[in-house]
Amino acid sequence: MVKTLETHLKGIRAEGKALIVPYIMAGAQGLDQLEAELQLLEEANVSAIEIGIPFSDPVADGPVIQAAGLKALEAGVSLKGIIKVIQETKVQTPLVIMSYFNPIYGMGIETFINELKETTVKGLIIPDLPAEHQDYIQPYLAGTDIAIIQLVSLTSPEARIKELVSQAEGFIYAVTVNGTTGQRQDFDSSVGQYLMKLSQQTEVPVLAGFGISQKEQVEQFLKSCDGAIIGSKIVNLFLENRQQEVKTFMTEVSALTT
């Protein structure tokens, strides 16, 4: 069964539009601001919204997202509280939860999935749960409309890429740097070729992520894949209460065509 997230993104792609997914850290500005952030991004016509779950040991995150997560944790933000906001949101744009495995395991995997079944959460990213161990969660996703997103790195060998692509649903998260998240000025010259090679192997949308913060970078990646995930820039702007800049920038990149 092709799940809603993948169908939704393919529909946008078929219209010749870029797939743009902003990342936010839930609760960094207080959990009471999460709904407003989601609504602002929906008004900017983004393709989907990735919601980060704060965690004390975020090994894949750069300094901006780490700081935002710690700020949320210090304010007492919990996975349970985030899910309550999601259950009540008026936003219809597909949501994708990005969480390390520990908070999910702590809540209880079955409980976590059951709490999300009737929400607009249509995707799940767990960066510290490799494909070999996704059987911890896959049985609970069976029969749901929640896709588990595969991450592919620059250093993934060909056999590994084929394995991940064969399991892909929703979209493929193509990591564009060797390291953690964070805004970058330059990317390795091989990234475009890597993205193009990945895109040629699948009909599942391929989105570039990690380090992307400029419209020009998105335009460059659109030559090789379907779109981009933009995280640290958006998290930082929200932390600085520059909501209008978030809306302006996201509206601009969401209007890009392929």
Q: How big is the chain, counted in residues?
A: 258
User: Out of 6, 37, 61, 145, which one is annotated catalytic?
Assistant: 61
User: Out of 50, 115, 145, 226, which one is annotated catalytic?
Assistant: 50
Q: Tell me the C-alpha distance between 229 and 52, whole Å.
A: 13
Q: Is the dihedral of CA 218, 219, 223, 226 positive or negative?
A: positive
Q: Residue 145 in 3-state DSSP?
A: coil
Helix boundaries (H) for the chain: 4-14, 34-43, 63-74, 79-88, 101-107, 109-116, 138-141, 158-167, 191-199, 215-221, 232-239, 243-254
61 a catalytic residue = yes
Contacts of residue 138, Cβ cutoff 8 Å, sequence gap at least 6:
148
- Start-to-end CA span in the chain (Å): 27
Active site residues: 50, 61
